[in-house]
């Protein structure tokens, strides 16, 4: 069974600081996704990581994937208030078709 | 390009009733997946439809069903509603369902009283 664990589940940080969210998954995965969700809103796609060593960056967010360790990280650089949201990682595997298995989410609060 | 749309956005029902939710995917997308989001269980996969066929199904009781039409629009139905069915129901579409990025709609928030 494909399982995904995220930590931390809650992160409160000051503006300007750096931090990393971790996403571990249990079995071989083909793709790793990061989504953002604002309160009361839907999920917005941030990144999709396809292969070992993949790194993608958009603004203050950078995601990476280590398939050998079954680990993805979402690094936040010099956080700003607008980054406050819940961040989810999700994985898919050919074995499970197009189904996304989500982590519990990390609630990020950036304090000014 | 218009995004994924879902109707209605909010619903209040009572136990025992049934409900139908609708999802229109992004134009050209043929795969539609449904997810349930609750504070306790998080985001859970319900089912996926592709070319009017259910291609994958999550671990939900038979009260949850769905279908897809020839224009790729999809509906999901929940019969004999229970209090625990209160949730945000999210629909996601992707091009061919071959693990491309899934784009999510705004969701339907269902409250069962």
Q: Predicted confidence band at A53 (pLDDT cuts at 50, 70, 90)? A: confident
CA angle A36, B32, A21 (to 5 degrees): 20
Taking residues B78-84, report their average pLDDT: 97
User: Would you call B43 and A102 a contact, using CB atoms and an 8 Å cutoff?
Assistant: yes
Candidates B31, B48, B90; nearest CB to A43: B90
Q: Is there a contact between B87 and B37 (Cβ–Cβ < 8 Å)?
A: yes
Taking residues A52-62, report their average pLDDT: 93
Q: How far is CA A27 from the centre of its chain?
A: 17
Candidates A31, A41, A99; nearest CB to B45: A99
User: Would you call A102 and B42 a contact, using CB atoms and an 8 Å cutoff?
Assistant: yes
Question: Considering chain B, what is the average pLDDT of its residues?
Answer: 95
User: Would you call A99 and B33 a contact, using CB atoms and an 8 Å cutoff?
Assistant: yes
Q: Which two tokens stand for residue A82?
A: 């607008």
Q: Predicted confidence band at B96 (pLDDT cuts at 50, 70, 90)? A: confident
Question: Considering chain A, what is the average pLDDT of its residues?
Answer: 93
Asked if B49 has any chain A CB less than 8 Å from its own CB, the reply is no
| pLDDT score, position B26 | 96
Closest CA relative to residue B38, chosen from B18, B60, B19, B23:
B60
Which residues touch B40 (CB under 8 Å, ≥6 apart)? none
Q: Which residue has the higher pLDDT, A41 or A105?
A: A105
Q: Which residue has the higher pLDDT, A27 or B19?
A: B19
Q: Give A55→chain B minimum CA distance, Å.
A: 16
Cα B83 from Cα B113, distance rounded (Å)? 6
User: Would you call B104 and A35 a contact, using CB atoms and an 8 Å cutoff?
Assistant: yes
Candidates A33, A94, A99; nearest CB to B48: A99
Taking residues A68-87, report their average pLDDT: 96
Does residue B100 carry a pLDDT above 90? no
Cα A99 from Cα A97, distance rounded (Å)? 6
| pLDDT score, position A94 | 80
Q: Predicted confidence band at A103 (pLDDT cuts at 50, 70, 90)? A: very high
| pLDDT score, position A29 | 74
Taking residues A45-71, report their average pLDDT: 93
Does residue A79 carry a pLDDT above 80? yes
Indicate the pairing of strand A61-66 with strand B103-104.
Answer: unpaired
């Amino acid at each position: 069974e494909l399982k995904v664990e995220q930590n931390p589940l809650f992160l409160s940080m000051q503006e300007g600081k750096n931090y990393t969210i971790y996403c571990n998954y249990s079995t071989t995965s083909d793709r790793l996704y990061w989504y953002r969700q604002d309160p009361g809103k839907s999920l917005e796609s941030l990144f999709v990581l396809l292969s070992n060593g993949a790194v993608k960056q958009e603004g203050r967010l950078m995601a990476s994937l280590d398939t050998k360790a079954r680990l993805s990280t979402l690094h936040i650089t010099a956080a700003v208030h607008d980054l406050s949201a819940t961040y989810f990682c999700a994985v898919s595997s050919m074995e499970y078709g197009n189904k996304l298995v989500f982590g519990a989410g990390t609630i990020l609060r950036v304090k000014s | 390009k218009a995004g994924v749309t879902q109707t209605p956005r909010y619903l209040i029902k009572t136990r025992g009733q049934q409900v139908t939710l609708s999802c229109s995917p992004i134009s050209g997308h043929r795969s539609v997946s449904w997810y349930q989001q609750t504070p306790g269980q998080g985001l859970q996969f319900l089912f996926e439809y592709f070319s009017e066929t259910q291609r994958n199904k999550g671990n939900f009781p038979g009260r949850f069903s769905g279908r897809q039409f020839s224009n790729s629009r999809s509906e999901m139905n929940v019969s004999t509603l229970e209090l625990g069915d209160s949730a945000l129901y999210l629909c996601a579409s992707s091009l061919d369902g071959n693990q491309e990025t899934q784009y999510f709609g705004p969701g339907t928030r269902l409250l069962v009283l």
